[in-house]
Structure 1
Amino acid sequence: MLPSIREAQAYGRTCLADSNSPDVDVQYLLCHVLTCSPTRLLLDAETDLTEQQWQDFKQLITRRQTGEPIAHITGSRGFWSLDLAVNNSTLIPRADTELLVALALPKLQPGMRIIDLGTGTGAIALSIAHERPDITIIASDFHLQAVKLAQQNAQSYRLDHVHFFQASWLSACQPAQFDMVISNPPYIEADDPHLQQGDVRFEPLSALISGPDGLDDIRQIIKQAAICLKPGGWLLIEHGHDQSRAVQQLFSEAGFVQISAHQDFGGNDRVVIAQLTL
């Protein structure tokens, strides 16, 4: 006898009892298999799964039991107002990174030219592009597979005003080229024990680690941005929860002003923004 939606949920919760969020995990996976919204799980709780749906669901639950991220299992992750394709060539977009989008949008004016460095899935660039079709957006990544994934996501939403290229940070850019530089770069220390925990075990280390203190890439971006930004241009960088003071000092040493720190939705220091002197 095949299980009902309610029974399948109970099975999944039992299998994932050691997960940090078994209820949420089961909901995501069952909605993915049934191609439905969470509301249907409530309204049709006594409806039986088909044989194929039941086998598919059990397979996904088994993958999650090994610790594989939900986003890799389903192949997508919601970010801002978009649903983005995800694979193991990039970081999985995090909700905290939406803070960069929220801080960038009020500072944008028609005709501005901005660049998203280390774009990964394209989450930041595409979220801004979806809100502001009146600006030019460049998105770059060092890894070609990430560039291809971001392009795929842009095509899904017909965001033709986003332009992609492969490069290491701002190394291929010209002086005074941009009105805004925005980035969520690697910022984890090489020996951080958290690298052996949770979803990050399945993500590329090159997108996570940045030298002994986690600040190597941020140093490089700030130095290059001081050249590639127009006078008065803005730099927005995400960083680790305990790096805000160090990042603010790096901004100051590079000649930035109007430096401010901002907290993520959990109340942790997460982003520093500043303006290049006029």
Structure 2
Amino acid sequence: MRYVVAVAETNSFTRAAERCLVVQSALSHQIARLERELGARLFERTSRRVRLTPAGAAFLPAARQCLDAAERAATEVAAAVGEVRGRLAVGLIPTVAAVDIPGALRDFRRQYPYVRISLRVGASDELAEQVKQGTIEVAFLGLPTTARPQGVNVRELARDRLVAVVAPDHPLAGEPAVDLRRLSAEVFVDLPPKTAGRAQSDQAFSAAGLSRDVAFEVTTADFMARLVGQGLCVAMLPSAYAPQLTGVTTIEVTDAPARVEYVIWSRVSCTPAATAFLAILDIPAALGTERNQHDLV
């Protein structure tokens, strides 16, 4: 099954054999043996390319599920004898500030060196959906105070207010504070529409009866700051995250919107690696239904 998945993902028997650390003849032999057992060809092979047959396309999802199940079984056995193995996929928004993610991963890696770790940066709503689907185990989100993660275990980490971010030579740079009405006259850079990060600012301006010109839309906070530093626009970012930026000036916003940072994980199952990572953060993976009911949605 691993060989089939490798060929399907690389479209090459040669590259698949390299990935699986076997000679190509052995890989080809095992796949041919599996095809005989199944009574169907899984790949169409020509001198120029390799592609899945309809039977192969039908076989591939089940093969991946079987491999995932086998890996989960192995990690559960390891955990039962006190050893955490397997994989840990962590999702995070670009502006996470409530947790020192690199520091937490450093501590986790020291204790559990056999866990393979992947980090995925994205928007809060996308990350929450991936946790529900089991694609990632743990995610760090930032949401407006009017929203809260649904269908997952959730723990609130911190609350923060947004600040204005401007170029050092901007006319507002010397001001101790500014309000939304004054900012509404500026050209903005912000996250794409319908993202949680964008909603924080949109809702605040709308509630104040104000509109603004968002001329630039980007997906990362660091690039937002680069545009701001060139004097092209201004931005609003969380105050706890803003000190990480260089080449810009931050200003308090008197009527600034707030955001809440959360950590979330699956209600259905929590892998030994995810449980161990949450423990590094002093968060119990199995929240009690009474004592921590306010943390469950």
TM-score (norm 2): 0.27
Q: Determine which structure has more spread, i.e. the larger CA radius of gyration.
A: 2
Q: Larger relative CO (CA 8 A, sep 6+): 1 or 2?
A: 2
Structure 1 length-normalised TM: 0.28
